[in-house]
């Protein structure tokens, strides 16, 4: 087949990351791309001449960056600029010790619910820790530990939730994309089987009643 079997019924981790990289994020640029309107003292031709322009499909912000004034671009671009030292990434509001602590508390107190983390928290945290570790206000090793704690708390709940798998539905509020992605093949497979069995039993009953 054109599509390898391991990609046929779920996303790979890289694909999830690719999806997440389309999200906007705040950055502090260190370069200015906004066309500077100089006072036309010397020559009229120098007025607002655009020297170069970044052509992208959807970011009008890219061409209006002013150094050290925050703007919003998509994550992949932010990471690219960060790699070259042309911006610093502003950590999202939920990625602070205080906020993570409150999430963690929620996780520990509510055994049957998941905290309201953003749908891409795991990937975002991973990417930012990896590539923008110097941009955090809080020490990164503590943030890492908190993320790990959250992950483990949620993993426990997911494992517990799997015993409620049934043939009709499953409610997964606030579960993030990567967490859903890793349980998808198992949960979908089991639910399909259960549904098949139930449907066959229902058919049989119908058949018996008809006779």
Q: Is 12 in the site for another protein (CB under 8 A)?
A: yes
Q: Which residue has the tokens 């229902």?
A: 202
| Residue in 135, 143, 138, 140 with CA at minimum distance from that of residue 70 | 135
Near another protein in 76-95, by CB under 8 A? 80
Q: Is 10 in the site for another protein (CB under 8 A)?
A: no
Residue with Cβ nearer another protein (45 or 130): 130
- Minimum distance between the CB of residue 126 and another protein, rounded to whole angstroms? 12
Q: Is 14 in the site for another protein (CB under 8 A)?
A: yes
| Residue in 162, 149, 150, 153 with CA at minimum distance from that of residue 188 | 162
Residue with Cβ nearer another protein (16 or 115): 16
Backbone φ, ψ for residue 123 (5° rounding): -70, -45
Q: Is 110 in the site for another protein (CB under 8 A)?
A: no
Q: Is 3 in the site for another protein (CB under 8 A)?
A: yes
| Residue in 94, 108, 105 with CA at minimum distance from that of residue 176 | 94
- Residue 71 β-bridge partners: 27
Q: Is 4 in the site for another protein (CB under 8 A)?
A: yes
Residue with Cβ nearer another protein (1 or 55): 1
First to last CA, the chain: 45
Residue with Cβ nearer another protein (18 or 205): 18
- Minimum distance between the CB of residue 197 and another protein, rounded to whole angstroms? 23
- Residue 140 β-bridge partners: none
Eight-state DSSP code of residue 135: G
- Minimum distance between the CB of residue 75 and another protein, rounded to whole angstroms? 12
Residue with Cβ nearer another protein (17 or 120): 17
- Count of beta carbons in the 10 Å neighbourhood of residue 63: 15
């Amino acid at each position: 087949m054109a599509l390898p079997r391991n990609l046929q019924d779920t996303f790979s981790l890289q694909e999830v990351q690719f999806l997440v990289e389309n999200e906007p994020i705040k950055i502090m640029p260190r370069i200015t791309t906004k066309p500077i309107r100089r006072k036309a003292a010397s020559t009229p031709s120098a007025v607002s001449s655009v020297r170069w322009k970044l052509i992208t499909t959807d970011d009008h912000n890219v061409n209006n960056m002013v150094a050290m004034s925050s703007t919003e671009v998509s994550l992949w671009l932010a990471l690219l600029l960060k790699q070259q030292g042309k911006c610093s990434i502003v950590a999202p509001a939920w990625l602070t010790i205080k906020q993570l602590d409150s999430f963690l508390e929620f996780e520990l107190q509510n055994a049957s619910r998941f905290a309201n983390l953003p749908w891409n928290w795991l990937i975002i945290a991973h990417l930012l820790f990896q590539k923008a570790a110097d941009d955090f206000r809080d020490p990164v090793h503590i943030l890492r530990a908190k993320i790990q704690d959250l992950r483990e708390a949620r993993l426990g709940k997911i494992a517990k939730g799997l015993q409620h798998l049934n043939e009709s539905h499953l409610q997964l509020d606030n579960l993030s994309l990567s967490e859903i992605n890793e349980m998808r093949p198992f949960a979908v497979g089991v639910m399909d089987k259960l549904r098949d069995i139930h449907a066959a039993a229902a058919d049989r009953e119908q058949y018996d009643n008809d006779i």
